[in-house]
Amino acid sequence: MELTLTGGTTISAVPAVPAMDAESLARLQQPHSTHAHGDGAAGAGSPYHHNHSQCHHDHSGHNHSHHSHSHSAVPAAMITASTLLPSKEQVQLFRTNKHYRLNILSNVVRGGTYMLFIDLLTALVSDDEGKEKKSGTPAGDGTALKDADPMVLAQMLDGYGADGHTLAHWSAKRGDEPRFLACLIEKSYVRNGAQLLIDLHVPSKDSVGMYPLHWAVIEGTIPIVSMLLQHLEERPSPPQRSTSITSSSSLMQDESELASDNASMNASNVVIDARDASGCTPLLIASQYGHPDLAAFLIRRGANPHAVDSSRDTALHWAAYKGSVEVCGMLLHLLGVEGQLDALDAFGQTPLHLASLRGNTDTVMFLMEEAEGVMDRPPNLEPTAVGRVGSKVTISSRTQFFYPGKLLIMADREGKTPRDLAIKKKKLGCELLLQEYEEKYLLPKRSMFSRIGRTCRDLFSIHNWKAWMGMSGADIPIGQSLTFPFYWMTTHILLAGVIYGTEFVGLGGSASVGDNSLLLDKIGLHVFFVASWIATLVNLYWVYTTNPGILDARSANDSSCFNRGGYPRNKISLEMEAVTKELRRQYDDVIDSYSKDFPPQDKRVTLCHSCRIVKPLRSKHCRVQRRCVLLFDHHCPFVGTTIGLYNYMSFFLFLVSFCLMAVGFITAWIFFLIRSNPFPTGAFLMGGYFSIYLIPVGFMAFYHANLVLSNISTNEQMNARKYRYLWDENGRFHNPFNRGIIHNILQRCWPDRSSYDLGQLSRSDGEVELTNSEERQSMLGNMV
């Protein structure tokens, strides 16, 4: 089964050529295919962006190929209406030839400025005298546009271009300039007479059949979506027309099934649940493109949350397939788990199937964690009649499992479970992850000797080592922290102490007390090394066991099979539980507010739909902990945990004590080499190897010392461009948390509740959205 993303056409394949000779006009009037499908996803000759092949029975062909365009150099001068229409003949052609006019206007909407668009509209309604009075510029002063007959102007703006799209389609893509869409809305009807002149809710005349609302959803610009929805709710009734899309015989579900599945939709929901050629609603497209805020906004504004496309894929199916944990979290929060995680599409596959075959390990883990939340119903029988034959899980028909176990054994129409699909698609990380879950929920509990044997087999398995080392795309499950670097670091610290005592001091070694090579007279050096060595181990222990500031009400008693037991239920964990509950309450309030309106950018708060919280300033969702962490710094596999607000001081002290330990070790090593006779080759090589560790750890200590002094985290320093609060209104870097060295040291090393003031939540920490005006001007340059 193959599945490809919807909305394949966003850029016209028809070149815009103002000089409309006969050949150019003929070329513009020819239909063009504007869809690109990777990997043959849609099948040969298939006009649909969803195509399922029974012979493949997987979603491996699911692909959306954005059109890439090579743009010429940026023009030296700004493009104006006079450069697009340099002669009277072309101005006249612009007024009289529909294809020519809409081609130029659509390209200006795609890549030009709003004032250029207004100038061209003025040229449509200005007379020749008015044009000449303005020294050949067709724009005029805008008076002609204000006095123009609205019906005449509407007729000139209405209709499809040669690419099969309307101006409303292209305006819906301009989230950076909403005035294009506002202008079309204003010209679309006569307010006094309540007469609709331009219908902005029409499908494109191509194989995709998308509405402008679909295009706005693809861009993820909620203000544009909100503007369209408000207009479509307030507009006069459009002329009666058929909005149904004829289904191809290749589709797995006919229109009657779609109608029955969505029979609950009333007339007011027809607009917000408009369907394209493959039955995708705006909500389904928002899930495909990973827009959780937009998906929540659509649901709160009345979109059908249970809508399915022509292959019966729900929004959760698409989100799981695309690996969008954020969308999955939002959907399960609003719709519930049961009835969603076990929903079947036309091929008998659940969201867990789709996440597994794509190798989305973080999504698989999230879905299984959500399934664990409905484990309050005990099974009828103990799951003893379970076994594995090859890659198949065999079960007794009389045995009923917990909900997670039910998801693991559900087979699609070809009899494949989620793990079977992961094996088939060679997604090793998902395979190992699902294997762990099957052993937890399906197989009988192993004895101690069986677990030891399994661990030994795993350690000597090339299959597992490839996943641990990230070879050949065999990724380790994202939520499972790499234990190898942590054990490596811990073992080397212990070995350094052993080598120091046996080689340099002679404890338990073969050297005699009178051996001149022994450093028995360096008592001060030994005390220094032992103290720093013990401090290194103690700091490592504290950084490993201290809750970094994980925003999770279950952090103290998490029963996940991949959590190392949670953190101690101490003051920090209790504080995090209380903070998390408050942030979740705020999250619900924000989601509920979407039913009224979406806040402007300056009043918008950042949400984490995976954790279902309002994200405090400077926090970040850790992919390893699978939770948001206050003042997230980074995840360090060498200390086996994530570094955040409350364990940063222990981490920094670990780096410092490690450097001091390494200095003591190197000093003793040099004294030992000088005193030894003959030269100890083995001790030289071993000591040199351990001495190398001072270089990277010393660099890290110096780097973090600078971060502490400036009160900035590693995440903020490495990704400064992503955070708006680190830039002033003039676009210059500004750290608002740098309040002097003493204050910075106190806040980073001895944090308290003021370090994550919840009153700072009003500022968005999302990625900075920069308008690529140069690229748009370059695209327009191809027209001149």
Q: Is residue 330 part of a domain?
A: no
Q: What b-and-e string marks burial along 525-544, b requiring 16 or more CB atoms within 10 Å of the CB?
A: bbebbeebbebbbebbeebb
pLDDT of residue 777: 53
Q: Is residue 631 part of a domain?
A: yes
The domain tally of the chain equals: 2
191: which DSSP letter?
Answer: T
3-state secondary structure of 211: coil
Same domain, 452 and 422: yes
Q: Is residue 751 part of a domain?
A: yes
Same domain, 549 and 451: no
Same domain, 497 and 391: no
Last residue in a domain, options 443, 473, 503: 473
Same domain, 561 and 460: no
What is the pairing mode between strands 607-608 and 392-395? Answer: unpaired
Instruction: Look at residues 186, 190, 68, 88 and name the one whose alpha carbon lies nearest to residue 131.
Output: 88
What span, in angstroms and rounded, lies between the C-alpha atoms of 480 and 459? 16
What span, in angstroms and rounded, lies between the C-alpha atoms of 223 and 22? 41
Tell me the Ramachandran region of residue 211: left when phi exceeds 0, alpha when psi lies from -120 to 50, beta otherwise: beta
End-to-end CA distance of the chain: 46
pLDDT of residue 328: 94
Which residues form the domain of 523? 486-760
Same domain, 592 and 662: yes
| pLDDT tens digits along 636-684 | 888 988 999 999 999 999 999 999 999 999 998 988 888 887 788 888 8
Same domain, 364 and 458: yes
| Residue 715 and residue 765 in contact, taking contact as beta carbons nearer than 8 Å | no
Same domain, 576 and 709: yes
Last residue in a domain, options 421, 450, 473: 473
Q: Is residue 221 part of a domain?
A: no
Cα dihedral sign, 375-377-383-388: negative
Q: Is residue 389 part of a domain?
A: yes
Last residue in a domain, options 451, 473, 495: 473
Same domain, 612 and 634: yes
Q: What b-and-e string marks burial along 298-331, b requiring 16 or more CB atoms within 10 Å of the CB?
A: bbbbbbbbbbbbbbbbbbbbbbbbbbbbbbbbbb
CA distances from 550 to 438, 479, 577, 755 (A): 27, 14, 9, 14
| Residue 552 and residue 611 in contact, taking contact as beta carbons nearer than 8 Å | yes
Residue 641 β-bridge partners: 636
Same domain, 628 and 752: yes
Q: Is residue 582 part of a domain?
A: yes
What span, in angstroms and rounded, lies between the C-alpha atoms of 613 and 583? 5
pLDDT of residue 784: 53
Same domain, 658 and 747: yes
| Residue 323 and residue 363 in contact, taking contact as beta carbons nearer than 8 Å | yes
Which stretches of the chain score pLDDT less than 70?
Answer: 1-78, 127-144, 191-193, 238-269, 375-401, 444-448, 450-451, 453-483, 508-518, 553-566, 601-602, 757-784
What span, in angstroms and rounded, lies between the C-alpha atoms of 100 and 104? 6
Q: Is residue 346 part of a domain?
A: no
pLDDT of residue 84: 83
| pLDDT tens digits along 47-87 | 334 333 323 334 443 433 333 333 333 344 567 878 888 88
Same domain, 469 and 512: no
Same domain, 533 and 399: no
Q: Is residue 169 part of a domain?
A: no
